[in-house]
């Protein structure tokens, strides 16, 4: 058995205990995912206008009422939740996983690559997130995907920073040196040794970003920079601003869904953080 | 002082990178100010290719990037960032009246954040692991999950339907009508401070409890100080370090948060200007605003570093 295939002293998520906040978060998330997946498939078409049924309050025929064009609000909230979930997944993949790997590489490599990358990170981190995201949107054009990408780009520096500091402290660990002497490539060291051992703090940051990403995506959509797509934030902005005084359900349900989604993601994040920090340090 | 000098040098470097980022960001995108201007006014007759080229030359967009950047940076340093494409007024004239609105909003929000965060966090630490602590922490977590602009909408609709009074009814300068000014800005400031206050509260609680677990705290208790006095005299100062960091980070956050809150409350601040300019692809204004918030953020971070050296004597000598 080669040295590099030995189990590394683990900081990975091994033993987990199920806490009450964790359970509540998981149950909420499951419910929202279920609604987001099922309702647009089996419910009324979210874009179908029924001008005979405009601005109907929530009742038996329309569970959450209808909007100013007679469109079913429940279907629209569900499809909005689906789009919010897409955004979270993209942010976790790009900022969480992508940023983490870039940070580990930067910290492990060191030298000029690291220096240059960290100064770029400094500059990006110096800017307010929403301003940065709006600047990306101004450059790339207003759309759902450019907004989602903008949020990922704005979030990535923090993940890079955290993963990098883990890599810097692990760089000189004996098992890394052993792997290197054994002839392991940088890629192998990165994925086989650094990724699992740096996973703890990295997971905490990524999880806390996911909750914030839900809200920031919604805020930007509310400002009207995601045209052509139904989003929870978009449902709160635009025409709802005109009709909300008489038809409060137009803003109540998208908002509650949004808050519950963010709460469930935050609760899951706290649960991850508890499990990471309660383990004996490596 | 060596520490501070290094931080200032680093701040200047970051500032320069921010200018570079603001410049590059808006130039890697397809299309430029001219195509954006054409797209903004459809139906006014097509411009001939020659006209487009002439316009590009007039705006200097046909030169190489480094030349454009040097020129742009020179203008920015002289505080002459050019004219808005949308209104053709000078960008400085566009920004100046709106700066006061955002500054007032952010200042009020920051004061509320610090008050609520400090008092709430210390109270939670004082009653750690008992009912008041649980209540305060739950409230903070719920506040963190609330979209602040949605809370603002609910607040506006609720007060409108219950009292018949509209919260978002435009803005009056403080000098012309202090009462109308405050009733327009204060609700927005309260909503803007909810998320930062919740974050600060959690940090104050955690770092106070951490300080309360140290030997010197135990020593203070052993000398007979009550838990309350020991917390106030010994744990508080240590807890101030992370607190200052978070206050600074939240001050930067507010520059962004104000964008959304201003939109909801109809306040004519920098945030609304930014959104309008982004949607109109008014590049000179967007660039100037990105630069302005970058500069403000770097200055805030420098202030934090300065506060560090005041709070932590070790930093005054250590390199």
Whether A224 and B279 lie within 8 Å, measured CB to CB: yes
Task: Give all domains of chain A, ordered by start, each with its CATH number.
Answer: 38-55+62-277 (1.10.3720.10)
CA distance A205 to A269: 9
Q: Give the best residue of A139, A233, A234 to mutate against chain B (max B CB count within 10 A).
A: A139
Q: A136 to chain B: nearest residue by CA?
A: B25
Q: Are B12 and B301 in contact (CB under 8 A)?
A: no
Nearest to A255 among B150, B160, B278 (CB): B150
Q: What is the pLDDT of residue B306?
A: 83
> DSSP state, B47?
P
pLDDT digit string (tens) for B104-125? 999 999 999 999 999 999 889 8
Scanning the structure block, which residue is given the tokens 């965060």?
Answer: B117
In A, which residues are within 8 Å of B161 by CB distance? Answer: 245, 248
CA distance A94 to A152: 6
B98-279: CATH number: 1.10.3720.10
Q: Are A200 and A11 in contact (CB under 8 A)?
A: yes
> DSSP state, B225?
-
Element (H, E) at B116: helix B91-126
**Higher model confidence: residue A90 or residue B30?**
A90
State both tokens at B151. Answer: 């809370």
In the predicted model, is pLDDT for residue B82 greater than 80? no
Q: What is the pLDDT of residue A81?
A: 93
Q: Are A141 and A195 in contact (CB under 8 A)?
A: no
Rounded to a whole number of angstroms, the distance from the CA of A16 to the nearest CA of chain B is 22
User: What pairs with residue A72 in β-bridges?
Assistant: A66
Measured CA to CA in angstroms, residue B243 lies from A208, A232, B138, B248 at distances of: 19, 33, 20, 9
Whether B259 and A130 lie within 8 Å, measured CB to CB: yes
Classify A72 as helix, strand or coil: strand
Nearest to A222 among B20, B260, B294 (CB): B260
**Higher model confidence: residue B114 or residue A127?**
B114
Element (H, E) at B294: helix B283-311
Count Cβ atoms within 10 A of the Cβ of residue B175 and give its class: 0-12 exposed, 13-18 middle, 19 or more buried.
Answer: exposed
CA distance B232 to B271: 39
Q: What is the ipTM of this complex?
A: 0.77
Q: Give the best residue of B150, B165, B293, B303 to mutate against chain A (max A CB count within 10 A).
A: B150
Measured CA to CA in angstroms, residue A118 lies from A172, A185, B253 at distances of: 20, 24, 21
pLDDT digit string (tens) for A154-206? 899 889 988 998 888 888 889 999 999 999 999 999 999 888 888 878 888 88
Q: What is the mean pLDDT of residues B293-314?
A: 82
pLDDT digit string (tens) for B199-213? 899 888 888 888 888
Measured CA to CA in angstroms, residue B245 lies from B204, B241, B258, B300 at distances of: 11, 7, 20, 10
Tell me the average pLDDT of chain B.
82
Instruction: Return the number of other C-beta atoms located less than 10 Å from residue B263's C-beta.
Output: 24
> On the CB side of A76, how many CA atoms lie within 13 Å of its CA?
30
Q: What is the pLDDT of residue A57?
A: 78
In B, which residues are within 8 Å of A259 by CB distance? Answer: 145-147, 150
pLDDT digit string (tens) for A20-78? 778 888 999 999 999 988 888 887 888 888 777 777 778 767 777 888 887 888 889 99
Name which of B189, B198, B304 is nearest B257 in CA terms.
B189
CA distance A230 to A92: 21
The torsion angles phi and psi of B296, rounded to 5 degrees, stand at -60, -45
Q: What is the pLDDT of residue B46?
A: 56
Instruction: Return the number of other C-beta atoms located less than 10 Å from residue B133's C-beta.
Output: 17
Q: Are A269 and B145 in contact (CB under 8 A)?
A: no
Rounded to a whole number of angstroms, the distance from the CA of B138 to the nearest CA of chain A is 11
Give the rounded distance of the alpha carbon of B3 from its chain centre. 26
Q: A215 to chain B: nearest residue by CA?
A: B147
Count Cβ atoms within 10 A of the Cβ of residue A252 and give its class: 0-12 exposed, 13-18 middle, 19 or more buried.
Answer: buried
pTM of the model: 0.81
Q: What is the pLDDT of residue A83?
A: 92
Whether A255 and B154 lie within 8 Å, measured CB to CB: yes
Element (H, E) at A137: helix A129-140
Q: Give the best residue of B16, B260, B282, B283 to mutate against chain A (max A CB count within 10 A).
A: B260
Q: What is the mean pLDDT of residues A127-144?
A: 82
In the predicted model, is pLDDT for residue B197 greater than 90? yes
In the predicted model, is pLDDT for residue A92 greater than 70? yes
The torsion angles phi and psi of A66, rounded to 5 degrees, stand at -130, 165
Residue extents of the structural domains in chain B: 2-77, 98-279
In the predicted model, is pLDDT for residue B304 greater than 90? no
Q: Give the best residue of A130, A209, A240, A268 to mutate against chain B (max B CB count within 10 A).
A: A130
Rounded to a whole number of angstroms, the distance from the CA of A155 to the nearest CA of chain B is 13
Nearest to B149 among A123, A129, A222 (CB): A222
Query: pLDDT > 90: what percent of chain B?
Result: 14
In the predicted model, is pLDDT for residue B193 greater than 90? yes
């Amino acid at each position: 058995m080669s040295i590099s295939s030995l189990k590394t002293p683990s900081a990975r998520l091994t033993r987990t205990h199920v806490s009450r906040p964790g359970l509540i978060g998981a149950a909420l998330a499951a419910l929202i995912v279920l609604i987001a997946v099922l309702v647009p498939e089996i419910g009324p078409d979210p874009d179908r206008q029924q001008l005979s049924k405009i601005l109907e309050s929530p009742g038996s025929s329309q569970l959450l009422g209808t909007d100013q064009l007679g469109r079913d609000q429940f279907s629209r909230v569900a499809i909005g939740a689906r789009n919010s979930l897409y955004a979270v997944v993209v942010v976790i993949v790009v900022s969480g996983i992508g940023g983490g790997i870039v940070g580990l590489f930067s910290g492990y490599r060191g030298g000029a690559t690291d220096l240059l990358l960290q100064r770029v990170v400094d500059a990006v981190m110096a800017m307010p997130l929403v301003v940065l995201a709006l600047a990306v949107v101004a450059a790339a054009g207003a759309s759902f995907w450019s907004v989602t990408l903008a949020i990922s780009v704005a979030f990535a520096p923090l993940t890079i920073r955290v993963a990098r500091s883990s890599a810097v402290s692990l760089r000189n660990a004996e098992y890394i040196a052993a792997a290197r002497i054994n002839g392991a490539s940088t890629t192998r060291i990165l994925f086989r040794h650094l990724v699992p051992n740096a996973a703890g703090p990295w997971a905490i940051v990524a999880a806390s970003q996911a909750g914030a990403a839900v809200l920031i995506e919604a805020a930007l959509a509310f400002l009207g920079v995601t045209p052509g797509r139904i989003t929870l934030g978009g449902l709160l902005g635009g025409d709802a601003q005109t009709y909300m005084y008489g038809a409060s359900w137009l803003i109540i349900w998208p908002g509650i869904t949004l808050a519950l989604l963010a709460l469930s993601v935050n609760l899951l994040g706290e649960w991850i953080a508890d499990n990471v920090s309660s383990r004996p340090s490596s | 002082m060596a520490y501070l000098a290094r931080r200032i040098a680093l701040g200047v470097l970051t500032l320069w990178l921010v200018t570079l980022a603001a410049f590059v960001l808006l130039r890697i995108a397809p299309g430029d100010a001219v195509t954006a201007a054409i797209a903004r006014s459809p139906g006014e007759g097509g411009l001939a290719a020659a006209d487009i080229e002439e316009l590009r030359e007039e705006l200097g967009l046909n030169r190489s990037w480094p030349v454009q950047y040097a020129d742009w940076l020179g203008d920015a340093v002289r505080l002459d960032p050019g004219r808005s494409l949308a209104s053709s007024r000078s960008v400085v004239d566009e920004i100046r009246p709106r700066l006061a609105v955002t500054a007032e909003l952010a200042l009020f929000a920051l004061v509320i954040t610090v008050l609520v965060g400090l008092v709430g966090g210390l109270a939670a630490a004082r009653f750690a692991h008992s009912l008041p602590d649980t209540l305060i922490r739950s409230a903070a977590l719920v506040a963190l999950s609330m979209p602040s602009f949605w809370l603002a909408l609910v607040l506006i609709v609720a007060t409108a339907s219950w009292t018949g009074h509209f919260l978002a009814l435009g803005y009056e300068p403080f000098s012309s009508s202090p009462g109308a000014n405050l009733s327009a800005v204060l609700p927005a400031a309260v909503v803007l401070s909810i998320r930062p206050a919740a974050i600060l509260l959690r940090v104050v609680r955690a770092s106070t409890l951490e300080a309360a677990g140290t030997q010197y705290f135990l020593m203070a208790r052993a000398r007979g100080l009550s838990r309350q006095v020991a917390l106030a005299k010994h744990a508080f100062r240590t807890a101030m370090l992370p607190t200052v960091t978070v206050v600074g980070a939240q001050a930067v956050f507010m520059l962004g948060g104000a964008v959304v809150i201003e939109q909801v409350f109809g306040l004519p601040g920098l945030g609304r200007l930014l959104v309008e300019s982004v949607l109109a692809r008014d590049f000179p204004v967007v660039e100037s605003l990105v630069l302005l918030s970058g500069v403000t953020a770097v200055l805030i971070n420098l202030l934090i570093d300065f506060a560090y050296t005041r709070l932590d004597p070790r930093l005054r000598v250590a390199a």
